[in-house]
Structure 1
Amino acid sequence: MKAGKILGAAAIVAGSAAAACAATCAALAPRRGNPVLDQQWREIARYRYAHRGLHGEGAPENSVAAFLRARDHGFGVELDVHLTADGELAVIHDSEIERMCGYAGVAEEMTMAELRECRLAGTDEQIPTFDEALAVYECDPTGETELPAPVIVELKTRGKNAAALCEKAMACLDNHLVRYCVESFDPRVLVWLRRHRPEVMRGQLAQNFLEEDWRPFHQRIGGTVLLGNAATRPDFVAYRFCDREGAPVRISCGLLGAHLVEWTICSAEDLARCEAEGAVPIFEGFLPA
């Protein structure tokens, strides 16, 4: 009798655990089953993506020169978009512009005209507008020339500007004939896209944040294990390459079937590993064969 009760209790515990696991998987599952988006992903997955453009001597990161160089080599690009103080869109990686421009300033606190006066890394290259960056990858409407590779657009939020940034960026993308997807570290961007532009392929950027001390601990945990997926339902997860073997990637992209992008690939050997794992690579610092 006692053994039967023990077995019954064990069955209840096991069943509860299985139910909890199933509920968790259902909550964190990516968006699936859209044939149009599936075709878009197949096109995106055909290419390699130059991180901030194919930058190097004379072509700073996130410059028109770097984007042209990437396009001419047949690569897509991953680029970064910020909303300026006057509601324009600037392409630069950091909000703080000092690293690239040599003096202090914050992109979101400057006008586009002020940012255009800056020069990148001591060259004559300006901080591009989003329009200028997209123009590099514009498709020929006649279909007479080969299609450029797609663009991975990272939306960089600051403070409470997520909705305004999304609205402005999508309006700009609507004015260009480009193939693209959108990603962000900020789940608010993906939630906005899910609600307002469900036809756009969206991706959650992530990494292992646990060793960083500038974020609140709950944000480091949530960002690392992709808890935001419950609200965002991303089509793909863009995870840092050196963190890719952790449980979040195995569960989200292995068990649950999200597409995987890996960043930043810095050698031919890592590129081979990335592609052998079926991931889309974002590379930097070398020229793939």
Structure 2
Amino acid sequence: MKVSLQDVFLKSPIAHRALHDEALGRAENNFAAIEAAIEHGFGIEIDIQQSKDGQAMVFHDYHLDRLTEAKGPFAQLTATELGQVRFRSGEKGVPTLAAILDHVAGRAPLLIEIKDQDGVMGPNVGPLEREVARLLQSYSGAVAVMSFNPHAIAVMADAAPQIPRGLTTCGYLPQDWPLLSEATRADLRKIPDFDRVGASFVSHQWTDLASERIQDLKGAGARILCWTIRSAAEAAEATLYAENITFESYVPA
């Protein structure tokens, strides 16, 4: 069953990892950045990783080093331990998805990207996706899920068929995806799983929006979002093809 992306996801730009600004004390994917995005009237994109004890946590990286004062792989810490981690922005604690859902409470459209847990975009996924699905059962706000890994979205199609689903996509350049084989990159470039997983949208790398496959999907009725826009000039170019942008490093008018 394909579920259409709600129109609210097309009405206002979407803040990438929320409206983060470390210098202003707003870490990526954390409460202050989320509240700032809500106050500006933006949609919000967040990322989901899994803790050691199977909790859905709102964090982008596979390692803690870039954003926090801790070090090492994210997945080696429990939710309780992650809740004690201090961010370089000064904030404390990696939020759980449950806490973020309670905080947003429908005040902004929420675009949830489930990070690949297999490592090479393969089928070794499932526990995190089912936990996300469980948490979304009682959420009444506008929400959609997406992932680079189509297997993750296939699990979501089974576990939460009522939630709009999409694929995060790009041109899969070798230098950007060194852990993937060229065969895997070539396959993913074709976005072959769009219909199989019941996707209704893609969020595509903005510099590749003119690709033939994206134009074919758009012509067939798919909603086209894009990532990651960092200036008004980029936004103007991207919106020649995409219906909405995901942005960071500037604030759209």
Query: Normalising to structure 2: TM-score of the pair?
Result: 0.89
- Alpha-carbon distance change, 210 to 157 in structure 1, aligned in 2, over 3 angstroms: closer
* Aligned: 1:239 with 2:204: yes
1:134 and 2:98 matched: no
Q: What amino acid maps onto 1:265 in structure 2?
A: I
Q: 1:78 aligns with which of 45, 69, 86?
A: 45
Report the alpha carbon displacement of residue 113 of structure 1 after superposing the two structures with TM: 1.2
Pick aligned residue for 2:69 from 102, 106, 113: 102
Partner of 2:238: 274
Q: CA deviation at 1:285?
A: 0.5
Q: Which of the residues 141, 165, 168 maps onto 2:131?
A: 168
Per-residue CA deviations over 1:1-58 (Å, capped at 9, x if unaligned) read xxxxxxxxxxxxxxxxxxxxxxxxxxxxxx76xxxx44x5222211211000101121
Gaps of 5+ in 1: 1-30, 140-147
Instruction: Give the partner amino acid of 1:228.
Output: D
Distance 1:196 1:89, change over 3 A: closer
Residue 129 of structure 1: how far off its partner (Å):
1.1
Q: Give 2:247's aligned residue.
A: 283
- Alignment partner, residue 78 of structure 2: 111
Distance 2:19 2:31 in 1: 10
- Per-residue deviation, 1:224: 1.4
CA RMSD in angstroms comes to: 1.9
User: What is the distance in 2 between the residues matched to 1:122 and 1:136?
Assistant: 20
* Maintained 8 Å contact 1:236/1:259: yes
The question of whether the paired residues in 1 share the 8 Å contact of 2:130 and 2:156 is answered with no
2:87 is aligned with 1:120 = yes
* Structure with the bigger percentage of helix: 1
Identity of aligned residues (%): 25
Conserved 8 A contact 1:71-1:136: no
Count of aligned pairs: 245
Do 1:204 and 1:237's aligned partners in 2 also have CA atoms closer than 8 Å? yes
Distance across 1 between alignment mates of 2:132 and 2:198: 20
Q: Provide structure 2 residue ranges, at least 5 long, that are not aligned to the other structure.
A: none
1:61 pairs with one of 16, 20, 28: 28
2:116 is aligned, of 157, 169, 172, to 157
How far apart, in 1, do the equivalents of 2:65 and 2:12 lie? 32
CA distance in 2, matches of 1:271, 1:130: 29
Q: Give the SS at the match of 2:228.
A: strand
Corresponding residue number in structure 1 for 2:6? 41
Counterpart of 2:147 in structure 1 is: 184
Scaled by the length of structure 1, the TM-score of the pair is 0.79
Q: CA deviation at 1:240?
A: 0.5
Tell me the secondary structure at the aligned position of residue 239 of structure 2: helix
Taking a change above 3 Å as real, the CA distance of residues 162 and 105 of structure 1, as seen in their structure-2 partners, is same
Q: What SS does the aligned partner of 1:61 have?
A: coil
Structure 1 CA distance, aligned partners of 2:91 and 2:198?
41
Counterpart Cα distance in 1 of 2:173 and 2:48: 26
| 1:276 Cα deviation after fit | 4.2
2:251 is equivalent to residue 251 of structure 1: no
Structure of higher CA gyration radius:
1
- Amino acid of the structure 1 residue aligned with 2:6: W
